[in-house]
Chain A
Amino acid sequence: MLLDTHQSEIEAIIARYAQKRSAVLPLLYLAQDTYGYLNPAAVREVAAILDLPATDVFEVVGFYTLFYDKPVGTWMLQVCDDLPCCYLGAEELLTALKRTLGIREDQTTADGMFTLQRVKCLAACDRAPVVQANLDYLYDVTAERADLLLANLRARAAEAKQRGLSGRSAEDFVVETDRLSHMSRDAAYQERSFTIEPPPPPTPPAELDSGYDLPQFRRASPL
């Protein structure tokens, strides 16, 4: 039970707010990290700690995209496909990731290592394409660097399990051609140097089978 393992932390969180209910999001993050995902028992537990009807907490879990009510992979890969990422290589990256992992969006690999998601703007548009893995920022992830990224994440699977999904000890990385370099919080801020690359070749027309939104679209009204 959360109260047994994290009692002082929970009390400290609740003490920040004038009303107990405000602690719903932080406690759900805590429960998600502890149990791996928000199963119904975990949600009820949070509701009980905060003296809330369970329905209210289920509603919150359903509303916010960073709460997972089904099991997910060790690494939750969230690829930004919004403007401007989508014009700077995000679609190519998604194609590469899907091919390598053999899954489509919102699926998990058979070994339980990766879940792939498309997400909306991650607010790092100057470092497109941008990916988050368990809320660690990964900048400049072009399609050619997808394999490097996956290999790095696989090697850090144990670390990911220990840190949890909710970014309670998140870090940021720049994905370079041959390695992932760590953007340490305590190091000096470095001004970014630009290498101005030649323009990419024109992209072929998008595959019809992008998988995104399409099944839903096919179910459109008979007219």
Chain B
Amino acid sequence: MALSEYIVMRELNHPDINQFAVYRRLGGWDAYATALRERTPAAVVQLVREAGLRGRGGAGFPTGVKWGFLPKGVFPRYLLCNCDESEPGTFNNHQIIDRNPHQLIEGVALSAYAIESNTAYIYMRGEFAAAALTLERAIAEAYQAGFLGRNILGTGYDLDIYVHRGAGAYICGEETALMESLEGKIGQPRLKPPFPAVAGLYGKPTIINNVETLANVPRIVERGVAWYRSYGTEKSPGTKCFSLSGHVNRPGNYELPFGVPLRELIESPEYGGGMRGGRKVKIIIPGGASAPWLTAKHLDVPLDYEGVAAAGSMLGSGAVIVLDETVKAPHVAYKMDEFFKHESCGKCTPCREGTHWLVKVLHRMADEGHGEAGDIETLHGIYRQMAGNCFCLLGESAVMPIKSALQLFPEEFETIIETSSRQHGRGKHVIPLL
């Protein structure tokens, strides 16, 4: 079910869409120019709310509703675009910018107008150095054409957009940690409330949205609610850029309407093209590292927020990692939790210590092949002490891989313990040599 028209990957097949003149000729910036002249900011917010656009960064929160949380009459306001994409399996923000930076910039500009902000920052992860240059160049073109700057198109509206590069910290994708980082501090999350809409960057009302979310806005404003809602499902309207990776023949970003079955994404020759070497699907992680795992029996789950949730997981960022039967579940859990251990900011104890101990046990089991009686109970114990006790979602996310692995593949952990190479080498019967 290929789309006749793409929303995020607009003009997908046009070779030069990454150039300003081409984007402009194909109707780019029209939505922005029209909105500035003919629509009030409140009308743009209303439009996005009615279109049912949901945040693509992971939580799926309705964007228009989020914009409505801003306290009335408090200025300045800031718009932040979250491009700190760093979770294993997610890679669409980078490619959206590579393909067509202008659409994102138009989306940022329109959204800034809607929330009556005069300054927007695009926070990119430090590793996206080349993409940051692409964006800066495209922003310079927009200034030159008069779409950014002072008194834009004679309407009296001012807007500046800046690119700000982080320096290698996944936690800065958490909205309050991103603000701390943008303020020049270490990226540790803040206590909520107050929520960013009330007191965000520099203590001012702030809206923060993901790259893909903002890239949707120009088309919604241009084509209207009914057109947008003709894609996707009732509760998840529009399309999603699914990032497909792992043991599939054709990994990549595929924009599909919400509600497409997982099987189509993985097996269709246009998208995933099936599994490498015709092997069987073992583990599907449908929404980035923090999503509970699915297995081959879930191939008919529809890819929308509700459908994936009903299957016991979450759509999250739409990063679908598919692994075949050559992998071992304890090792997948080990690699995932190693990621969270590395990226834990150290602010709260359950996350800092929990991820550390999970990795210690998993490393010994999955990498060294040495399991001890009681390991399974220990692992259950560690993640139970983390779940619900962490300061932000990073620690909560670290629970998912190990919990899923223990739930879905308990026998693999038992096998490691039974066949352990060092059955009697360690344990409580050995007198420690200090």
- A1-43 toward B: CB 8 Å interface, digit per residue (1/0)? 0000000000000001011011111101100000000000000
- B166-198 toward A: CB 8 Å interface, digit per residue (1/0)? 111110000000000111111100000000000
Residues of A close to B94: CB separation below 8 A: 123-124
Residues of A close to B93: CB separation below 8 A: 123
Apart from A52-B184, A125-B89, what 13 extra A-B contacts exist at CB < 8 Å? A18-B76, A87-B246, A87-B327, A123-B94, A123-B127, A125-B251, A167-B127, A196-B273, A205-B369, A208-B368, A213-B363, A217-B360, A222-B433
Q: Is the CB of B127 within 8 A of A135?
A: yes
Known: A21-B184, A170-B129. A66 touches B89 (CB 8 A): no
B-side residues, CB < 8 A to A, are: 13, 15-19, 76, 85-91, 93-94, 98-100, 119, 125-130, 132-134, 137, 160, 162, 164-170, 181-187, 202, 243-247, 249-253, 273, 276-277, 279, 289, 319, 321, 323, 326-327, 332, 335-336, 339, 342-343, 345, 359-360, 363-364, 367-369, 426-428, 432-434
Which A158-186 residues have C-beta < 8 A from chain B? 166-172, 183, 185-186
Q: Is the CB of B129 within 8 A of A125?
A: no
Residues of B close to A132: CB separation below 8 A: 127
The 26 sampled A-B contact pairs (Cβ below 8 Å) are A16-B160, A16-B162, A16-B164, A18-B76, A19-B183, A25-B167, A26-B164, A63-B186, A64-B166, A66-B168, A87-B327, A120-B343, A123-B94, A124-B94, A125-B91, A125-B246, A125-B321, A171-B130, A185-B134, A188-B15, A188-B18, A189-B16, A196-B273, A222-B433, A223-B428, A223-B432
- A120-136 toward B: CB 8 Å interface, digit per residue (1/0)? 11111111100010011
A21 contact from B183, B342, B367, Cβ within 8 A: B183
Give min CB distance, B26 to chain A, whole Å. 14
Q: Which residue of A lies closest to B246 (CB)?
A: A84
Known: A22-B182, A185-B130, A223-B428. A126 touches B245 (CB 8 A): yes
Residues of A close to B202: CB separation below 8 A: 18-19
Residues of B close to A190: CB separation below 8 A: 15
Q: Is the CB of B130 within 8 A of A167?
A: yes
Q: Which residue of B lies closest to A213 (CB)?
A: B363
Q: Is the CB of A64 within 8 A of B246?
A: no
Q: Is the CB of A59 within 8 A of B186?
A: yes
Task: Tell which of B87, B93, B244 has the most Cβ of chain A within 10 Å.
Answer: B87
Q: Is the CB of B15 within 8 A of A122?
A: no
Cα separation A219 to B434 with both chains bound (whole Å): 12
Q: Is the CB of A84 within 8 A of B167?
A: no
Q: Which residue of B lies closest to A124 (CB)?
A: B91
Q: Is the CB of B339 within 8 A of A25?
A: no
A110 at the interface (CB under 8 A from B): no
Residues of B close to A171: CB separation below 8 A: 130
Query: What are the 5 closest A-B residue pairs judged by CB atoms, nearest first?
Result: A167-B129, A199-B277, A222-B432, A64-B167, A170-B129
Q: Is the CB of A84 within 8 A of B130?
A: no
Q: Is the CB of B129 within 8 A of A189?
A: no
B245 contact from A50, A128, A169, A222, Cβ within 8 A: A128
User: Contact size class for A?
Assistant: 35 or more
Task: Tell which of B76, B119, B181, B433 has the most Cβ of chain A within 10 Å.
Answer: B181
Q: Which residue of B lies closest to A203 (CB)?
A: B326
B342 contact from A22, A28, A86, A120, Cβ within 8 A: A120
Q: Is the CB of A194 within 8 A of B273?
A: yes
**Interface of chain A, main secondary structure:** loop
Q: Is the CB of A194 within 8 A of B363?
A: no
Q: Is the CB of B186 within 8 A of A60?
A: yes
Residues of B close to A167: CB separation below 8 A: 126-127, 129-130, 132
Residues of A close to B16: CB separation below 8 A: 188-189
A151 at the interface (CB under 8 A from B): no
Q: Is the CB of B127 within 8 A of A83?
A: no
Q: Which residue of A lies closest to B9 (CB)?
A: A189
Residues of B close to A92: CB separation below 8 A: none
Which A185-223 residues have C-beta < 8 A from chain B? 185-186, 188-192, 194, 196-199, 202, 205-206, 208, 210, 213, 217, 220, 222-223
Give min CB distance, A180 to chain B, whole Å. 14
Residues of A close to B166: CB separation below 8 A: 25, 64
Residues of B close to A56: CB separation below 8 A: 185
Q: Is the CB of B134 within 8 A of A121?
A: no
A137 at the interface (CB under 8 A from B): yes
Residues of A close to B169: CB separation below 8 A: 63-65
A168 contact from B129, B252, B289, B427, Cβ within 8 A: B129
Q: Is the CB of A67 within 8 A of B86?
A: no
Residues of A close to B368: CB separation below 8 A: 208, 217
Cα separation A52 to B185 with both chains bound (whole Å): 11
Q: Is the CB of B432 within 8 A of A126?
A: no
Residues of A close to B133: CB separation below 8 A: 169-170, 185
